[in-house]
Structure 1
Amino acid sequence: MGRKRVLAVIHTVTYGKRLLEVLSLLEADFRLQVLFTAPPHAFGDDVPRFLARLGSAVLPWEEVVRMRFDLALAAGPRGVERIDAPLITLPHGANYLKRVTGGTNPGVAGLRRGDLLPGGRLPAAVGVPHHAELRHLARECPEALPLAHVLGDPVHDRITASLSLRDGYRRALGLAEGQKLVVAVSTWGAQSSFGRFDALLPRLLGELPASSHRTALLVHPNVWAGHGAYQVRSWLARCTKLGMGIVPPEADWRSVIVAADWIIGDHGSVTLYGTLTGAPMLLAASPEGEINPLSPGAALAARAPALSPTHPLTEQLDYATTSYRYEDYADIRSRITSEPGQFNRNMRRLMYKLLGIGELAHEPVIVPLPEPPPLTSWADGRGVMSA
């Protein structure tokens, strides 16, 4: 039986986790064969282990560029112009939050000409989460506008579909009745909150009563890839011994965010997704120069309270709670996607259109997030694959 071949291009663990959401829409279709490849990337060292955990069929990059596929999916632009297939490009995080000011390709990451037209080649489709991005394309890269499809955001949809399961996630994490969970979140880069963790971690461990508070640390996979898992675990070894949960890069972090009582974050995607949960937040870092000024991340940086280096942490968490109003963040949440709850339907329709075959005769349901392992197990590197 001849099968159509779908290629998933996995540059990094972050890209891979986003594409697993998309590939789940092709499950149970015996007409398709999904294949994976891992192009060279500065933060790609963990990708082989990530793909090995999946048990996926992996083709060498050098072989892939000599083959033909019926569809290709990529959440990053590097090298994809060499792939012979109708290509769908997708963002790998929430909206388009980061601004690149240096180098030869400045602009909003994910919306630069080099991102939209990799190698100068037009893809078959450019997936965006919100209609607002169409105005940017019309202004900055009009060639990409006819190829743009407003698809929505899969992580937004999974989180919102799972909010009612919060109590179960908290029990699975091992939180006792009445215990509070503080989740510290960091994107990657010199201006991320991880760059300030040497000051924040002692406060999380020393100022919060251990009997009533638990802490979890959620660091961008690029930090793990850039420094190496050994080094990151070495830096955080004392934290794990004192009971902090360290979420490994391959784990599904989304249920941990849903379970949080507070989020201490920065200008990355996870913090923005945290606005969906109703957890009050403090910002440990929000560098203006790295934030897309037209993004919901800029609005969040202007609205959420900033972490103070001098005031007691417990007082700041109390302040975040008493000053927080869920409705104050409604405009920020609405900028994550203009197609809430519709990503699965929109994305599946686009893929099958490019494949030239009909969709399977069932609704693509939004599956709630799986329960996380206990906080104590994160130190062993055990976690749930994101899918």
Structure 2
Amino acid sequence: MPREHRDPGQWATLTGRKKVLVVIHTEVYGQRLRDLLPLVAADLRIQVAFTIAPHAFNSGAVRSLPSHGSTVIPWEEAVRSEFDLAVAAGSQGMEQVRAPLIRMPHGIGHMKLSRTADAPEGTPRTVGGLGRTYLMRDGRVVPKSLALAHHDDLAELARSCPEALPAAEVVGDASHDRITVSLPLRERYRRAMGLRPGQRLLLVSSTWGTGSSFNRLDALLPRLLTELPPEEYRIALLVHPNVWSGHGHWQMYAWLEAFRQRGIAVVPPEADWRAALIAADWLIGDHGSVTLYATLTRARILLARFPEADVNPRSPGAELAGAAPALSPAHPLTEQLAYAAAEYPAAEYARIAARISSVPGEFNQRMRALLYRVLGLGQPAFAPVTRPLPPPAPLGLAPEAGPWGSGGTEIPA
């Protein structure tokens, strides 16, 4: 549980530390920022604190805090205090923070276009996270540094907010690097999830919003249960944390309980999904980040939804939509899974995967250099290590820790 904030000025044992504020807007943003923490964790010159920023989906943000206890400062206090550095994956309220800001992407490939409501009247939609609405306030660029994953992002930035180009720096993608370094552990992950020899894992992934797979899950999940033999296939459902935050945990489990009782494992939103993706034989996805990360793995991809009007046409996600087979409502699923496996366009997927990061394997080195440069400190005298992902929880086990207690069908009052 997070530790309540206390002013350390009177009681601190180590004084004169550089103060870093990690600003978490949503659970997803917090998960992205957690990959930064090992880069400064052992440095006695640095003190890290956390705050939860205002956001429509911040109800689950606290779950992305480090589980062993964190100094959490109320937002109202955080914006009144001075820090040597702030890091965030979102933009809302960041102009209020009194610190040099490093802004991270909160997803992959800058695939999604901004919401229609966020575009000023008469102007086209920009790429989410890269438009002036996200990066500028009162005529100035808010981030001191804008960390990007790929050189293609610089071209997008030049289109949507050229004022921020001097602040932009390509550092790579942490999830790309952790997935690729973990690929040799695939069989270990499959054993940890409880898959039997010869059993195949189908991962269903959904982003949030009306164009997502979840919006039509009531048609897809019954098909999976009806058409796929349970002794041969395990099915796991991975839903974007914004859906859990927007509808509430109780409601999500209530909607999914009947499917869970019939054998579909629900990956809880706080779980690290990346090891499960590595373990998967197939991924049925949409225009979310997980689908694009699947190009790094052995998972065969089928697209259940792809709302073209909401996707940046120059993004690797749009390119993936032109290569991956689309799920058909009229043909047996076993035939479609076999087709996706037989027609797996490995060369195309490798080319698309190369658009995730311009500097594969270099995120930790580049990001640490950026953090310490902004802090005005020399880096520690050892190279940062990209560590493999921890094993995932057994399928069907983690959801039992949710609101159902012993996992019965009765919904608690």
Do they superpose with TM above 0.5?
Answer: yes
1:354 is aligned to 2:374: yes
Aligned to 1:90: 104
Secondary structure, aligned partner of 1:103: helix
Question: 1: CA distance between counterparts of 2:138 and 2:187?
Answer: 47
**1:337-348 matched pairs, under 5 angstroms:** 337-348=357-368
Question: 1: CA distance between counterparts of 2:138 and 2:269?
Answer: 30
Q: Per-residue CA shift, 1:169-193, capped at 9, x if unaligned?
A: 0000000000000000000000101
Structure 2: which amino acid aligns with 1:177?
P
Aligned to 2:242: 222
Preserved CA contact (<8 Å) 1:77 1:118: no
2:132 to 85, 92, 113: 113
Structure 2: which amino acid aligns with 1:200?
L
Preserved CA contact (<8 Å) 1:79 1:118: no
Q: 1:50 to 1:132 in 2, by over 3 A?
A: closer
2:265 to 226, 245, 248: 245
Preserved CA contact (<8 Å) 1:36 1:59: yes
**1:277-296 matched pairs, under 5 angstroms:** 277-296=297-316
Preserved CA contact (<8 Å) 1:248 1:381: no
Secondary structure, aligned partner of 1:252: coil
Secondary structure, aligned partner of 1:349: helix
TM-superposed deviation, 1:151: 0.6
1:13 is aligned to 2:27: yes
2:398 to 372, 375, 378: 378
Unpaired runs of 5+ residues, structure 2, are 1-14, 120-124, 403-413
Preserved CA contact (<8 Å) 2:27 2:62: no
Preserved CA contact (<8 Å) 1:184 1:218: yes
Secondary structure, aligned partner of 2:221: helix
Spell out structure 1 runs of 4+ moving beyond 4 A.
none
Quick check: which has more Rg, 1 or 2? 2
Q: 1:171 to 1:118 in 2, by over 3 A?
A: farther
* Percentage of matched positions with identical amino acids: 56
Question: 2: CA distance between counterparts of 1:168 and 1:151?
Answer: 30
Q: 1:332 to 1:49 in 2, by over 3 A?
A: closer
Structure 1: which amino acid aligns with 2:233?
H
Aligned to 2:338: 318
Of 50-59 and 142-151, more deviation after overlay is shown by: 50-59
TM-score (norm 2): 0.90
Preserved CA contact (<8 Å) 1:81 1:121: no
Structure 2: which amino acid aligns with 1:2?
G
Q: In the comparison of the two structures, how many residue pairs are matched? A: 382
1:207 is aligned to 2:227: yes
Secondary structure, aligned partner of 1:176: coil
**1:1-387 matched pairs, under 5 angstroms:** 1-51=15-65, 53-100=67-114, 102-105=116-119, 106-118=125-137, 120-122=139-141, 123-381=143-401
Unpaired runs of 5+ residues, structure 1, are 383-387
Structure 2: which amino acid aligns with 1:24?
P
Question: 2: CA distance between counterparts of 1:259 and 1:49?
Answer: 24
Structure 2: which amino acid aligns with 1:30?
L
TM-score (norm 1): 0.96
Secondary structure, aligned partner of 1:162: helix
TM-superposed deviation, 1:100: 2.6
Structure 2: which amino acid aligns with 1:88?
I
TM-superposed deviation, 1:39: 1.3
Of 91-100 and 117-126, more deviation after overlay is shown by: 117-126
Q: 1:223 to 1:21 in 2, by over 3 A?
A: same
TM-superposed deviation, 1:118: 4.8
Structure 1: which amino acid aligns with 2:199?
Q
